[in-house]
Structure 1
Amino acid sequence: MPASEEFAASIRIDIGGAQQKDLVNDIIMLVVEDSIENPSTFNLVLADREGKWADSSLLSPEVGGDIKIYLGYTDASVSPLFVGKVVALSPDFSSGEARTLSVQGYDRSFFLQKTHCLKDNSNVQNGQDASTLVKKIAGNNGLSSDVGSAGFTWADVVLTSPDESDYSILRRVADMTSLEFFVRDRTLTLRKPDYGDNAATLVWGTDIISMSFRMSTGRLVKSATVRGYNPKDKCSYTAQVTTGESGTFSGTLASKYVSSSEFSSLILEQDVIFSNLTDVNKLAGALLDRANNSFVEGRCVLIGDPKIRSGRSVVINGAGKRFSGSYYIKSARHSVDKDGYLLSLELRSMVTQKV
């Protein structure tokens, strides 16, 4: 097999459970945006000279069959990189150019923005873990769930309005607990960020084609304070979480910056009800995480690899002492066109702290 064929990107697309080889043969460009912070998307550009694909029921958004996209080399990967639905078709007619069709789609988390599992707070039970709420949302939307304990009581996740979407509730639960949620295939997952030991190592000049970084102390803070009130017990709660001596950043200079007296405390006064001090402490920790996790941000481009996805850590080597180290992947853009398969990663620094 020629080397060019050995390393050529292989694409497989299944729609409604059936493999679509003719569709793959007409692909001009494919982009999959795999994200841990937003619904994942795909954009597919097809050669459509006779309008075959634009008029095909196979790609009709109203049909609603699952589309699964696999990427790899010589043979596509065993696990799909994207599972979701087609939501938009955009034919392009340009004089003197071949007709094309753009197909856009989202994973199933996108559709949680349109559903309202809870109409009111009548089912909220004091002391019940918020993970029960997440499982309820998953079940009502035809999804399985991979959810451990959120470590946060349901009573503290009250609806902001009767029209609040399931997606908004899940986003608030994740933000309040330093967890992350996403939907892959038909499974809704709520978990701690994967800062594990299975991080891929990427080396400048070997794996990485280009990279850039930005270090900013603009939002860096050394402590977060949250104040809450429980009207049932007529108790006020105050929690403060600090970093620096009681926590570390992955960057080598972060602890030096955060210990500086120039970085003041961030104070958030909450108007919502808190059931206990433990939950207030966790909210303060989550607030500190969000304030500090953009201390260093980066972007790198490398040869495509379907195993590298958002929601995992990587180690960057070759960026000097200040910027080499561990990062968390916020999003991974997998793109395939006539020039090959490239992967663009959006990265952020990783923060830990002790309460």
Structure 2
Amino acid sequence: DPLFKIGNEVSIKLGYVNNLRDMILGKIKDVQVSFPASGASTLRVSGLDFLDEVLRGRAKKTYPLEEASYRDAVDAIAGASKLQSKIDPIPDKQPKIFIRKGDAFKPFMDDLARRLDFKFYTRGRTLHFHKRIAQSGIVTLTWGKNLIQFTPHISLNHQLTKVEVRGYNPTTKEPIVGVATSGDIEKTESGGTSGSDMLQAAKTERVKVITNRPVFTKAEAEKIAKAELNKANAALVSGEGSCIGLPGLRPDDYVELNGLGKRFSGKYQVASVTHTFNNSGYITSFNLKRNSSNEPA
């Protein structure tokens, strides 16, 4: 069927009668057909949204951004990927930047997001570059009601107590050092205990030192250190669960889980979401994480 030709655009909507939500706009990347020994044949269609254009893109020319802003750089990448852009305000004082011909867009965008503590994603044909806003889009799920099941676990494996970012100012010949410690962790649960708190209570220090990232000011080094510490400590508590179909649930949203006892009830950030329609109905499965626990260190 030419409808499912590789490269065709596809739009998927999910939800309930008279309340469908746009889930994805993208392109078909893979088509698989199964002809079993018995039963009906099946067709599996896979695709990617337009963020793939950014992740795989490379500059076809050198952009004259030596005196330009970070915003100009993101606009240039969106334009090269044939996308519109929607960008949060960015401070004016920034180091000189540029994109050379042949440079990959993904590491450039990753580095920019780390420097500013931003995130980037696409919705339809628009590239979004936004500040990380804590606890937006909160949905409440209660075990025994609309939360079907949830399996949580706590791990200190990847937790850190401190991050140092070290650079060098070529003009003044002086070192640049930015430091983030447990007090810089933006806890999911206000007043909760972070993995860093638990490690310190056990008299254990885990320090990450970053020396391979260019920094130009102490403030920038501190911002990168803080972002790296929060990223490393993001999944002190993680878990997998499912609920009745929620078409509005997206990665980076927050959910409030109830009925799981003091240790595991509370707010979580959504790491990933899978929406499934089958003979049992509409189910939303998800992976959740949070960087603090409701128990003392």
| TM-score scaled by length of structure 1 | 0.73
Other structure's SS at 2:271 match: strand
Counterpart Cα distance in 2 of 1:305 and 1:241: 37
- Seen in structure 2, the aligned counterparts of structure 1 residues 146 and 267 have a Cα distance that, compared at 3 Å, is same
Cα-to-partner distance string for 1:74-93 (whole Å, 9 max, x where unaligned): 2351x411111111111112
How many residues are matched? 289
Which residue does the alignment assign to 2:295?
none
Which residue does the alignment assign to 2:240?
299
Q: Which runs of 4+ in 1 moved over 6 A?
A: 156-159
Equivalent in 241, 251, 261 of residue 320 of structure 1: 261
Which residue does the alignment assign to 1:17?
none
- Seen in structure 2, the aligned counterparts of structure 1 residues 315 and 151 have a Cα distance that, compared at 3 Å, is farther
Which residue does the alignment assign to 1:229?
168
Equivalent in 4, 7, 12 of residue 69 of structure 1: 12
Which residue does the alignment assign to 2:178?
239
Which residue does the alignment assign to 2:53?
111
Counterpart Cα distance in 2 of 1:317 and 1:260: 28
Counterpart Cα distance in 2 of 1:137 and 1:291: 28
Which residue does the alignment assign to 1:91?
33
User: Superposition pairs for residues 255-270 of structure 1, below 5 Å?
Assistant: 256-260=197-201, 262-270=203-211
Task: Specify every segment of 5 or more residues in structure 1 that has no aligned partner in the other structure, as ranges.
Answer: 1-55
Counterpart Cα distance in 2 of 1:289 and 1:181: 17
Alignment check: 8 A CA contact 1:326 1:349 kept: yes
Equivalent in 177, 181, 188 of residue 250 of structure 1: 188
Counterpart Cα distance in 2 of 1:302 and 1:248: 27
Letter in 1 for 2:56: K
Quote the offset at 1:118 in angstroms.
6.4
Letter in 1 for 2:193: L
Alignment check: 8 A CA contact 2:33 2:43 kept: yes
Which residue does the alignment assign to 1:137?
77
Task: Specify every segment of 5 or more residues in structure 2 that has no aligned partner in the other structure, as ranges.
Answer: 293-297
Alignment check: 8 A CA contact 2:4 2:28 kept: yes
Which residue does the alignment assign to 2:220?
279
Other structure's SS at 2:201 match: coil
Other structure's SS at 1:81 match: strand
Cα-to-partner distance string for 1:302-354 (whole Å, 9 max, x where unaligned): 01111122121111111211111111111111111122110011111157xxx
Quote the offset at 1:95 in angstroms.
2.1
Quote the offset at 1:253 in angstroms.
3.1
- Seen in structure 2, the aligned counterparts of structure 1 residues 137 and 236 have a Cα distance that, compared at 3 Å, is same
Moved more, 247-256 or 137-146: 247-256
- Seen in structure 2, the aligned counterparts of structure 1 residues 94 and 329 have a Cα distance that, compared at 3 Å, is same
Letter in 2 for 1:61: I
- Seen in structure 2, the aligned counterparts of structure 1 residues 158 and 279 have a Cα distance that, compared at 3 Å, is farther
- Seen in structure 2, the aligned counterparts of structure 1 residues 166 and 190 have a Cα distance that, compared at 3 Å, is same
Other structure's SS at 1:217 match: coil
Matched, 1:342 2:288: no
RMSD: 2.6
- Seen in structure 2, the aligned counterparts of structure 1 residues 253 and 274 have a Cα distance that, compared at 3 Å, is closer
- Seen in structure 2, the aligned counterparts of structure 1 residues 182 and 263 have a Cα distance that, compared at 3 Å, is farther
Quote the offset at 1:296 in angstroms.
1.1
Other structure's SS at 1:123 match: coil
State the identity as a percent.
25
Other structure's SS at 2:157 match: coil
Counterpart Cα distance in 2 of 1:118 and 1:277: 34
| TM-score scaled by length of structure 2 | 0.87
Counterpart Cα distance in 2 of 1:119 and 1:264: 46
Quote the offset at 1:96 in angstroms.
2.2
Alignment check: 8 A CA contact 2:185 2:230 kept: no
- Seen in structure 2, the aligned counterparts of structure 1 residues 200 and 172 have a Cα distance that, compared at 3 Å, is same
Quote the offset at 1:115 in angstroms.
1.6
